[in-house]
Amino acid sequence: MNLSVLGLPSSSLPDRPGTLRRFCAHVCRAVPPVGPALAGAALWAAIMAASATHGIWLRTWQTPYKVQAVALLFAVGGAVGFPVGLFLARLFGMGRRREAAFAAALIGFSAATVASTALAYALVYRSYYAAWHAEPLSLTWLFQLIFTTLGATGQFAVLGLRLYFPIGFAAMLAAALWFVRKPR
């Protein structure tokens, strides 16, 4: 068993099959293949951008540039979130019954996609307010960074999450069904 992926030489683990060895092996098996992860990330990015665009269209926004910016933000969140969600689904769904695998996939894809998009939003939000922040790496700057990020995350939770409905939510259900149907 090759545990070098995690930075652990196999000689550093005990010879008997222990909890740490089994856990590391499970984590290594949960890492998704590169091909499906990249293809899924591209498709997931397109679907999340379409979901955001549809949500914006339903709310009749009039500024095309901002629609493109929000769609790009959701695409980035989807592209980063899919491989992470697939890893989480495999980590918690491998060897489980179909219902548990479905729940692991739904939670994994949803949490990873929303968290990635919220992080991307927080970075954009932070870059805007950075002009008024204190010197980098000072205590004041650290507080400003933390509270700006928390404010951005709260704002995304209130304003951004609704852009996942109905398309993004349906896509998350479809991805969880796809995960349950394919061999794990």
Same domain, 17 and 50: no
Give the span between the Cα atoms of 16 and 58, in whole angstroms. Answer: 59
Mean pLDDT of 13-21: 69
Q: Which domain holds residue 9?
A: 1-30
Question: What is the pLDDT at residue 59?
Answer: 87
Question: Is 52 found in the same domain as 18?
Answer: no
pTM for this predicted structure? 0.85
Do 41 and 114 lie in one domain? The reply is yes
> Within this chain, do residues 18 and 82 fall inside the same structural domain, yes or no?
no
Residue range 21-64, pLDDT digits in tens: 999 999 999 999 999 999 999 999 999 999 999 999 998 887 88
What's the one-letter identity of residue 148? T
Scanning the structure block, which residue is given the tokens 């918690």? Answer: 92
Q: What is the mean pLDDT of residues 127-148?
A: 93
State whether 85 and 25 are in the same domain: no
Residues 90 and 165 in one domain: yes
Query: pLDDT tens digits for 72-96?
Result: 999 999 999 999 999 999 999 999 9
Asked if residue 151 and residue 92 are part of one domain, the reply reads yes
Same domain, 9 and 75: no
The domain total for the chain is: 2
pLDDT over 90 percentage in the chain: 79
Same domain, 50 and 7: no
For the chain, what is the mean pLDDT?
Answer: 90
Quote the CA–CA distance of 52 and 59 in Å, as a whole number. 11
Q: Decide: 117 and 144 in contact? Cβ < 8 Å.
A: no
The reported pLDDT for the residue numbered 65 is: 86
Statement to judge: residues 149 and 68 lie in one domain = yes
